[in-house]
Structure 1
Amino acid sequence: MFRTTPDIVNKLDVIDPKSRLAIVLCMADDVYTEQFVDPQLGFRSHKTSTTKLEMHLSRVEHRIWTYQKDLYERSVDKHSLFRYEPCTRFANEKGYGAKVVAKMLIKKKKSITDLGGQCFYINEKHLVPGLNDFSVFTRSRSKNHHIYLGPAAYVNHDCESNSVFSPIGEKSYVGISTVKTILPGEEITVFYGNHFFGYNNSRCACLTCENKQMGIFQKKEYAIAIN
């Protein structure tokens, strides 16, 4: 149980009440990525860097916290269908990141057990570009931002991905389902969107773009022609 202090209450006042569940999720995610994912990777992986606040958790908030722990704990279990590995394909400030790789054959049209995450509304004022906006959905109708955190937040993009995001059970949980058979040692990927890496993904560095000489790999003459 968390408890509030006068100092903490002042900090809680600046939190958008509608974003409280997202803030709890961010705090939990930072704790459990460090505890379970980072040791497997051998380095400090992405963090939301959310200020740790002492607060009384409601029953729903407590469930968010414990469920995030369960997700990560099961993801590194010996029976898990996948593992975390370092990835150097996508440029960032470190020069490396993480990816999710199949440990065994996963058939087409299968939900990948425990490869998912929790998703909650977050006010834009709580998002810091380049810091905690690495896994944010924007609803097409409402244009509201939802932060999405869990093992699936480590799944990278590919323009011809082998998996898709798939709502399963509660609306706050989004899993990953396969659209192709995935072989042992193959990276599990999803499609982030048509313009995630610039217009028509012109700055995309995925394996498909490399193989097809598209995205950042396309020849300058061709890039000029299509622009």
Structure 2
Amino acid sequence: EATRFSLERVKNGQNTVSVTGNVLRDYLTDLFPILEVGTSAKMLSIVPLLNGGGLFETGAGGSAPKHVQQLIEEGHLRWDSLGEFCALGASLEHLADTKNNTKAGVLAAALDKSIEKLLDTNKSPSRKVNEIDNRGSHFYLAMYWAQALAAQDDDADLKAHFTPMAGAMTANEEKIADELLSAQGGAVDLGGYYRPEVDKVAAAMRPSRTFNGILG
């Protein structure tokens, strides 16, 4: 009854505040956002916990087994981590608010700016091989985040730490992007499906020697 009531209001474009059990919760955190923005990867569900913590939930923009299948067959991972980036920002904001952690607040504000730039520059993963995938998206998020931290003046320690990293990534952007793209187009051996080998996964997910060298 609650689900039908909410669906009727959504169809009519009305806002609804729902106090629900788990069945309708799946509609609220998955179906409705997908209808609104077209993918589960561009939404974030925040659940406050009784002892003051928080649960930050998101989607991947599709079926995980299909994502992995394409990675194994074509070397392309279309998993969209945008929602994970948003969840990380929300968790840093939660840490800043509940523990009075100013550095976490600075990190969160810079991450918000980097996510905005990621969307503006359309650096989300493509579904097609030999185009930007999850690894490229992570690189650009890291570069934009480092740039935002280098540009801020609220925390001198963070500024000093990330300024060299931001400069190195910016100077090597084209080279890193090329190294990440060159890893695509062929089959990938992860050493297993449910229990892949750590070294093989690391090699597949971190194929840019230049980027790895900057991160240390």
TM-score after normalising by structure 2: 0.26
Point out the structure with the larger strand share: 1
Structure of higher CA gyration radius: 2
Q: Give the number of the structure with larger relative contact order, counting CA–CA contacts within 8 Å between residues 6 or more apart.
A: 1
Question: TM-score normalized by structure 1?
Answer: 0.25
Higher helix proportion: 2
